């Protein structure tokens, strides 16, 4: 995935709490792996946006991201 595409994906999720709450584990896995491989800030920003689309956090997404990060790092 190119960086411009990553920014587009982030723009889709930005401030869209309903969409972020329905994100699949596969999507989270994809961006965690992209972050680990390419180490670009845009991938971290997507994960941040998915976990916190507006002012409130989505616990389910936080758990998925943290689970995948801990699995990938370990």
pLDDT tens digit sequence for 14-72: 999 999 999 999 999 998 988 888 888 888 999 999 999 888 899 999 999 999 989 87
CB atoms within 10 A of CB 60: 13
Cα–Cα dist 34/47, whole Å:
11
The pLDDT score that the predictor gives to residue 37 is 86
pLDDT of residue 29: 92
* Domain locations along the chain: 3-73
Tell me what pLDDT residue 39 has: 82
């Amino acid at each position: 995935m190119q960086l411009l595409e990553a920014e587009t994906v982030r723009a889709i999720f930005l401030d869209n709490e309903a969409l972020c709450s329905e994100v699949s584990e596969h999507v989270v896995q994809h961006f965690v792996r992209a972050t680990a491989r390419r180490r670009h800030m845009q991938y971290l920003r997507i994960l941040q946006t998915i976990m916190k689309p507006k002012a409130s956090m989505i616990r389910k997404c936080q758990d998925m991201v943290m689970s995948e990060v801990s699995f990938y790092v370990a």
